[in-house]
Structure 1
């Protein structure tokens, strides 16, 4: 199990100039309808990097430091632990119980923003009943099952939604999935922050490494586009299904930092100890209090 079950990231992020702080539990301008170019011959490659439209952020005054707790949480798709599923006899609880536990964990750890991976309709139904009073979510189950898979949720009493968007990325066999990007604004300070949430394919079918590398290329390009556009903080959560490779690439090509630590210079890359495949990266942020949650309940979730 990846994500929150193995990573509860608690990191406090501070923006240098704008004084912004984030607690991470293991967070510009969008060009409407743009696409980040890629060379290739795959029949679906023309869609990779295509983005949904999003309005330009409004100029707002920022009042002091902004602190929040962010988590990356792979909640393991419902069908994995149903009869005949890949993990039905692997010690996991059933889907309904796992989703209840997941929501309890988010609330007990006071998570303000979470990137969820492997979200399925049955889990979303439980989410609506147990979490919707406290959290807003995008996209949720507003469109397709594929779009639901990777969703971002935030506490209603901490953030308001400024805009939403998405980027098309390759998954297994190069199939296209839309993955979410949201611009949130702190209700306390007015600080606006971009959050993006991804899952790249694991080495369980096809040439997953190829699609991971292509996906990373577009994810990094998106970060750099936002940084150039307006310099707002960017937080990236996700199950990247990669360890040292993704750390070294993202910290170099997007100049982001990892909530879990590590070191990067022009000539060397030293990943953090105890790496898992779940990551939180940030730009214009400063993380602290990073935590990987490995309790028995988390492991069974």
Structure 2
């Protein structure tokens, strides 16, 4: 069952989403060769709690940490550890926070130092596919329209689209209806209506779409051990159009990146 949100609830969700955004922005300049994902995880937990929220992932389904940290061939759900990041790595950081009873949840894949050109292109295409999907999250469209758009954009460029892991509705629980696959057929699935809030999150592989799972029961990797990228935003449907509740602005500010990619999806400029 889809749970629509009032404008007041959406503003509470925006607050939670922005705590996640600020957490990722805080981490961005610290993602350097030699740092461990466990060190970054500890910083994130402290930051989230200092902002009056709870880590959204810690303890959720018994997950042991604040962040899902997935380097290189890991797609999602990687567990932070003591292995230092290296020059040329990529690292997907998926973060959640809960405040005022509502969750925020989004993700960004970072390069560690200089990364290979084909990997940089994977990251750029995956991030752009997120906005291609968001464009289809509008009144009258259906779940399949978003999935189709992401799938076509990425597969046309030769990448593999993960099937087993999907985006989702979000609200008072982390995962609500509807599921939001990154593949699909136009005109299929549940219809979008005002008040819906979803997490759209392409997970795109440099090689095969197939995946495997580590014995830890969490970490998902590409079956061919080629890199994977993951980007995610929380998006509300307001007056028939998509509006971002999360933002990459704090990441871009920290890294000195200038872009207007989010402007059309934002109701205001964040401080």
Q: TM-score, normalised by structure 2?
A: 0.34
Q: Which has the larger radius of gyration?
A: 1
**Larger proportion of helix:** 2
| Larger RCO of the pair (alpha carbons < 8 Å, separation 6+) | 1
